Chains A and B, each alone.
Chain A
Amino acid sequence: MADTNHIQKNMSSTLTSAGYYQRWRLIKDALARHVVVVGGLGIIGAIVLIFFYLLYAVFPLFLPAHSEAIAHYSIPEKNLGKTLLMATEEQNEVGVRFTDQGKVVFFAVKTGKTLTTKDIALPQNVKISSFVQGDFANGIVAYGLSDGRAVVVRHLYTLSYPNNVRVITPDIEYPLGPEPLLIDKKGKALTQIAFKKGDDVSTFVAKTIDQRVILTSFEKKSAMFGEEPKLERTDAVLKTLAKDVAFILINKDHNNLYLASRTGLLSYFDISDKAKPVVKQQLSVLDVGTQVTAMDFLNGDLSVLLGDSQGIISQWSMIRDADNRSAMRKLRAFKASDNPIAAINPEARRKGFIAADSKGQIGIYYTTSERELIKESVATAAPVALALAPRANGFLLEASDNQIYAWHVENEHPEVSIKSLWQKVWYESYPKPDYIWQSSSASNDFEPKMSLTPLVFGTLKAAFYAMLIATPLALMGAIYTAYFMAPKMRLYVKPGIELMGALPTVILGFLAGLWLAPLVELHLAALFSLLMFLPLSVMIFAYCWQRFLPKDFREKVPAGWDAAILIPVIFLGSWLAVQLSLPLENLFFNGNMRTWFKNDLGIGYDQRNALIVGLAMGFAVIPTIFSIAEDAIFSVPKHLTIGSLALGATPWQTMIKVVLLTASPGIFSAIMIGLGRAIGETMIVLMATGNTPVMDLSVFQGMRTLSANIGVEMPESEVDSTHYRVLFLAALVLFMFTFVFNTLAEVIRQRLRQKYSSL
């Protein structure tokens, strides 16, 4: 507007007022043109934006992980001893190393500068003989001592914000008291120790210098009247070849114990009863000549990761088979390197892990998706300690060249791979590889199971049954309405059926779920007898009508009103069918069709099943197919049909051989558009199925579709999480499905239009 004002001012001196007005009109015209063009293109652009936005949201799923070195420095306070364990805190700013002299050194991750050092209170004349990290998430570690005792230490960090700057203060504490606990009653040195601390129970498993493996647990017994709770101890000796034991793992529920020897002999103990540990299974997990070089739990303590001397890391998990027997099974293996694996460190919150080989090369892996995400040569010397940050966004590697290497990692969506989305995956604790969608749970240990296959299967199943019901009804209706029906009746029938399409699907879903589903469950036999007897009764009526009724009477009904006469016939037929269903059910199905299906055919019955969805969604799809197909049939040029009739063909022959053939592309496009609608429908499937993502073809079982899944899970998914992006992927898949069907339909329809215009 500023410009036009400017122009106006310049013009006004030279032009007459009429000329000025003409000028102004032309400017307005140009302005309007530009506004419309920009607006129009902008809106069309906005529509395209949907597609690109979905892509944009999905894209990060398939970005590779990325890592970079941020610093390397020599070991802080090297004189305080060799590193037994390294760890970082939540923010990945402060690192800690526990030394073999009982010192704790806290240092800055970025610079390697020592922040503070702490001494672990040890009794005099006692040496540290072993060490273990008890719990990754809680930062608990345990030292085994030379007098058969053990001390438990926790490293912890407090955040404070003086002057709005975040300050992290590291410290240590003794969760079981500063006084070491006696583990071995004989007082022998503990050469190897494993430890898990629970809320009430603390479990130690230790190997002593005189080659025994002992289990000691302390249970907190709540005392009465506010006394100090007492620790009740239980002792046991494990029956195993102690001198072979090289690795000890206790799970966080304190009921499973895994021992492994260097040669690959894995023993699994049930230690639910701490006084009587039971060997459940012993098996050899490696080939002869290969050695176990590293072993740790995967997050959740449900599976064990074994690194061997050939650079292979394998995942073993307790699997319950069909006979309810559990056994250790190998789920998968990663070839990480040609050198022996030196260290394995699991992620704290996901099912991934980092591994380092003896040459200082590291790799980050994810079990569910079987992906190798990162492989880098970090150091040139053998690793001493490896620490993955709790958020898995960085790691520290201490190598034998006395350097600590700090790396930053960006690894947002390791859970997703083409395989984990579309193929069978062997999940932890599952008897066999399977397609499963189970995206979230309250617990951190949960392995997200994000296979889109059952959802796509459910989508197609629901659409299939809906089309099975809708296509015949809609097409037959369209044929009659377009070709045989009296024009006057057509005037009301067509909008009437089209009106069905405007009905909100939430109402159809509600009726299907709360009215139809219980009704069908009760009268299943009646539904089948309807399907059988209704066409039959119509045929019988038609035959009698044409054969036995006097001609004058028949001619009172004008041509093309047959559908109106049939309405009472259908009512009568339905009533008869329902009446007949009871004796039929008694005769063929022992009086109860549902139990007959279950007992004789082994088909279970869900109240909200594919049949209900098919009926309800079929109802929703009928108007779409009907309307387009009817248009296609109606617009077949009249001279074609008249020609055919004149040559002596019956109306039905004309219909089949001439009209349907000409209109077939239009009918095809109607079915495609109907299918597109059935695939994308949300509310009906949400309300009329149980929404369980099962893969079962049975018509009496439910399903979960892509759209219902989005509707159920999207509001609860965390923004930008893998789950969120996978749901976007589901939306994209839906979009693509319908896009393909609709484009196909539209192209065919346009060609059909051109063909008609040439006829």
Chain B
Amino acid sequence: MIKQWFKSGEPWVWLNAAAVSANLILVVGLLALVAVRGLGHFWPAQVVEYGYKDKDGVATTIVGELVDTVVLSAQQAKDANYEILAGKDSLVQQLIKSGNRDTTGMDFRWIEQQRITGESYPVEILVVERREWGNFYGRLVAVKEQGKIIASGEQAWPVAEEKLQAALKLFDEIDTMQRKEVGAINYALERLRLKQKRLQLQNQWNDNTRQELAKQEADYQASYQKLQGELAKLNEKLALDSLVVKEASGQEVEIPFAKTVRIYKPNAMSVFAKIGHYGSKLIEFVSDDPREANTEGGIFPAIFGTVMMVMVMAVIVTPLGVVAAVYMREYAKQGFLTRLIRIAVNNLAGVPSIVYGVFGLGFFVYILGGNIDRLFFPESLPAPVFGTPGLLWSSLTLALLTLPVVIVSTEEGLSRIPKAIREGSLALGATKAETLWRTVLPMASPAIMTGLILAVARAAGEVAPLMLVGVVKLAPTLPLDGNFPYMHFDRKFMHLGFHIYDVGFQSPNVEAARPLVYATSLLLVLVIIGLNMSAISIRNHLREKYRALDN
């Protein structure tokens, strides 16, 4: 019976079907994994308080968020030198985010479930999100103003919230001032220095120019001094107030509001409060700068850098790809050569991206960039301007990388346009250029669009070549800002994909960074899937349209 069944080939068909299902499960599972982990990060987790008796029998209290649970079988636990208490056949380990890195030296710790003696979720536990040293878990004791306690016990909480709002506002003000105004002055001073060097190189450095520059510099210095004075005053004001929080161990710690981002009591929060908290964390994630070596805060510079790089790349790749495709499809004689070229273009789509990176570094950065510096920026030598990895070279490298995508897609679009349309246009007396410009290209525009979107999607997710030609883990300035010439093609930038690699693998505190990496991955996946979906729908739409034309 079974033999006959096997002979019919049915089991193999089923096995093949299983392969499809497995593939589908893998895709969906992966997306779900990233989505759940990425989105879960912003939800305020319950803070648990454990009574714990460690290996040596010392009892402690552990306060923190439960992050992960791992079950080891008895044998595995034995091999890893863990002791299993009587009556258990496996070892359950829990990863607790206990925060307070400044006082305990570590903010994550593994504990054994079998040694937990008590578990509770006290509503008064306070979580303080700080600008340095990660989260702090403890109980609010008092609020201090200029070192004097102004509220304690029950009254402390509303006062603390109020004080924090004021501090955050002040912090924003200082931050804006430092970045915008002080940054602009520094930039202007740097330009003055370069101007002086340029004048010296051109032998125009005389008393006139010297005085002129000296005057400008004095002006800038004066406004810089003034700003510094204001900043100092604001900083002084910001440093006045602080929170007093008691740790699980009973030690009281003073946290200045200047170093605080957020305070909340997760165990006391209602669902709506949690949703509100979630929303504010989400907004912070996409719109704020990173903190603490990229492991906290937002990823705005990475989003901005990615978008910027991809936009510059799109501007470069579209005309190039379209011209190449038009040449191959409309102008070149179809024959051995065009076939060869087509093979070469297809081939390039398969060349490893890192090879493009190597090419970009060697050719664009060192040869092109080096020569541009020598010709146009002699005043800043030996410091390179374009002779170092940066936005322009990244965009150019990725443009080269995605060129085959645009060429292939545009060619496909051109080949779908019925010959009758071209012939009709030519018969009416239009030149070839006019036919192309007025009828063929507009009709092919959705195909060009598709190619462009696919190119953008590919470029947005590509990391390997960028590591060589321009991304950095932390860029002090965005490539676009309010300082002339506004768009800084020579600057290095941050990138979502590289952010994932860097934070996930180069960060000193991987455990703390992990949720953020999941969230960043989710964002990147969403962007890329969105782009691909739109490319697919445009392509389908296009096919429908030409099917109608053919009839």
List residues of chain A with CB under 8 Å of any chain B CB: 25-26, 28-29, 31-33, 35-37, 39-41, 43-44, 46-50, 53-54, 57, 472-474, 476-477, 479-481, 484-485, 493, 495-497, 499-500, 502-507, 509-511, 513-515, 522, 534-535, 538-539, 541-543, 546-547, 562-564, 566-567, 569-571, 582, 585-586, 590-592, 594-595, 619, 622, 626, 650-653, 655-656, 673, 676-677, 679-683, 686-687, 707, 710-711, 714-715, 719, 727-728, 731, 734-735, 738-739, 741-743, 746-747, 750
Contacts and interface: CB of A to CB of B under 8 A. Distances in A.
A742 B347 contact: yes
Interface string B1-36: 110010011111111111111111111001001100
A28 B431 CA distance: 9
B9 A742 contact: no
A739 B351 contact: yes
B486 interface: no
A109 B13 CA distance: 83
28 contacts: A28-B431, A33-B331, A37-B331, A37-B332, A40-B324, A40-B331, A474-B23, A477-B19, A477-B20, A480-B13, A502-B529, A503-B528, A507-B34, A509-B501, A510-B505, A514-B510, A522-B72, A534-B22, A562-B17, A563-B24, A570-B22, A586-B75, A622-B26, A710-B468, A734-B355, A735-B351, A735-B352, A742-B351
B323 A39 contact: yes
Nearest to A50: B359
B161 to A, nearest CB: 36
A303 B393 CA distance: 45
Given A522-B70, A539-B11, A586-B75, A485 B355 contact: no
B21 to A, nearest CB: 4
A289 to B, nearest CB: 54
B27 A500 contact: yes
A510 B517 contact: yes
B1 to A, nearest CB: 8
A619 B23 CA distance: 9
Contact of B73 (A591, A655, A680): A591
Given A44-B344, A711-B464, A497 B27 contact: yes
B462 interface: yes
Given A40-B331, A541-B14, 18 more contacts: A36-B323, A53-B359, A477-B16, A480-B20, A484-B16, A497-B24, A503-B30, A503-B528, A504-B460, A507-B500, A534-B18, A543-B2, A652-B13, A653-B9, A676-B350, A680-B354, A734-B352, A750-B343
A504 B14 contact: no
A683 B27 contact: no
Interface in B524-539: 524-525, 528-529, 532, 536
A682 B331 contact: no
Interface in B40-87: 70, 72-76, 78-79
A680 B401 CA distance: 14
Contacts of A714: 357-358, 361, 468
Given A546-B5, A570-B22, A728-B362, A43 B320 contact: yes
A742 B353 CA distance: 14
B327 interface: yes
A503 B20 contact: no
Contact of A687 (B343, B363, B458, B504): B504
B23 A626 contact: yes
B19 A476 contact: yes
B463 interface: yes
Pick from B324, B350, B510 the residue with the most CB of A within 10 Å.
B350
Pick from B2, B11, B354 the residue with the most CB of A within 10 Å.
B354
Nearest to A538: B18
A562 B12 CA distance: 12
A566 B501 contact: no
Contacts of A566: 14, 17-18, 21
A680 to B, nearest CB: 2
A594 B78 CA distance: 13
B57 to A, nearest CB: 28
B25 A47 contact: no
B359 A680 contact: no
A37 B9 contact: no
Interface of B: 1-2, 5, 8-27, 30, 33-34, 70, 72-76, 78-79, 320-321, 323-324, 326-328, 330-332, 339, 341, 343-348, 350-359, 361-363, 366, 400, 403, 431-434, 436-437, 457-458, 460-464, 467-468, 497-498, 500-501, 504-505, 510, 514, 517, 521, 524-525, 528-529, 532, 536
Contact of A472 (B19, B467, B528): B19
Contact of B468 (A622, A715, A742): A715
Contacts of A653: 9
A613 to B, nearest CB: 15
Pick from A46, A502, A509, A622 the residue with the most CB of B within 10 Å.
A502
B40 to A, nearest CB: 14
Contact of A741 (B75, B328, B350, B525): B350
A719 B12 CA distance: 56
A725 B323 CA distance: 34
Contact of B355 (A47, A594, A680): A680
B76 A591 contact: yes
Pick from A480, A582, A741 the residue with the most CB of B within 10 Å.
A480
Contacts of B463: 504-506, 682-683
A515 B436 CA distance: 52
Nearest to A525: B73
Given A507-B521, A535-B15, A687 B505 contact: yes
A530 B358 CA distance: 41
A677 B350 contact: yes
A731 B433 CA distance: 41
A503 B346 CA distance: 20
B465 to A, nearest CB: 9
Contacts of A542: 10-11, 14
A41 B344 CA distance: 13
B538 to A, nearest CB: 13
Contact of A650 (B9, B363, B536): B9
B514 A727 contact: no
A50 B360 CA distance: 9
B497 A41 contact: no
Contacts of A592: 73, 75-76, 79
Given A43-B403, A50-B400, A510-B504, A563 B352 contact: no
A500 B23 CA distance: 9
Contacts of A499: 27, 529, 532
A652 B73 contact: no
Nearest to B514: A514
Contacts of B498: 506
A682 B353 contact: yes
A727 to B, nearest CB: 7
A364 to B, nearest CB: 28
Contacts of A626: 23
A712 B2 CA distance: 55
Contact of B34 (A41, A474, A511, A655): A511
B75 A747 contact: no
B354 A731 contact: yes
Given A40-B323, A543-B2, A622 B521 contact: no
Given A480-B16, A652-B10, A504 B497 contact: yes
B524 A507 contact: yes
Contacts of A650: 8-9
Contacts of A472: 19
B327 A39 contact: yes
B432 A29 contact: yes
Contacts of A682: 352-354, 463-464
Contacts of A511: 30, 33-34, 521
Contact of B5 (A534, A543, A585): A543
Pick from B23, B464, B498 the residue with the most CB of A within 10 Å.
B23
A586 B323 CA distance: 66
B358 to A, nearest CB: 4
Contacts of A476: 15-16, 18-20
